[in-house]
Amino acid sequence: MGLFDFFKKKQETVEAQEALDKGLEKTKEGFFSKITKAVVGKSTIDDEVLDNLEEVLVMSDVGVTTTLKIVDRIQQRVARDKYVGTEDLNRLLKEEIQALLAENNSNDFETFEYGAHKPYVIMVVGVNGVGKTTTIGKLAHQLKEAGNKVVLGAADTFRAAAVDQIKLWGERVDVRVVAQPMGSDPASVAFDTVKSAVANGDDVAIIDTAGRLHNKVGLMNELTKIKNVMQKVVPGAPHEILLVLDASTGQNAIEQATQFTQATDVNALALTKLDGTAKGGVVIGISDQFKIPVKYIGVGEKIGDLQLFNKRDFVDSLFK
């Protein structure tokens, strides 16, 4: 790496950290004001403080199951160290959340470069309105910036707006889009996209799918059909089934994750709109509950504000 590339990389890292800090501002404000109230007038972490902390975490959309784990861990720490006071609560909380996320068998992703498969096929799922198409566009941009040749497949053929939106993103970030008329078979579009990616020597193919949470059987059949036709062209495709969730919907995002993980083999998550919500705690709950890596987070409107999720950076930013 040359000196120019080194400083460019360093500058990008600083900008990404600043975007993360800014994106989590609303969550931090709500989180810390509630924790401050939980310990007011207390010098030791007693049962009442732990009860209050439990309420704070649940209200921050960490989720009941994950909250109970965190509170139990802190209770054990307090029992071991008799001299822990309320001024240590933030530090303990930060350490235990980081430890919990580290145990979830999810690796942090370092770059937007995928070298294991070519083409690397990503099938994107999620309900309408969560920022699915925007995430696809921003992801295509990041992948292209990392030196990948990218193609998009507009397989959400039930909404004309979805196909048009993908085409607009294709023009904006200068990547090819494979599309068919509205109402076409989504599996046919996916097949054409992957076939085109192979013929064109593309590194990554990203397939959009319909954002409908109709009955689970229908969803399962549709996604299975799309997977099967892609495997005829690229065995093992899709390599990534990315579920996009809107962090601002809190517990509803967890419900959507439940539905989609039952319908298909989701192996990566993207949490959008973290900058517009005080419910950033849902990232912790989803990561813990589903044991599926949170791979991308959306922390702003700018094209570069889709970030690779890093557990340590996220929790550090949350507690700054």
Report the binding-site residues: 126-133, 208-212, 272-275
241 beta partners: 123
User: What are the Cα distances from residue 257, in Å, to 127, 149, 268, 296, 309?
Assistant: 10, 30, 11, 15, 17
Residue positions forming the annotated binding site for GTP: 126-133, 208-212, 272-275
The sheet with strand 294-298 has its strands ordered as 176-178, 150-154, 204-208, 120-125, 240-246, 268-272, 294-298, 306-308
Are the C-beta atoms of 289 and 263 separated by less than 8 Å? no
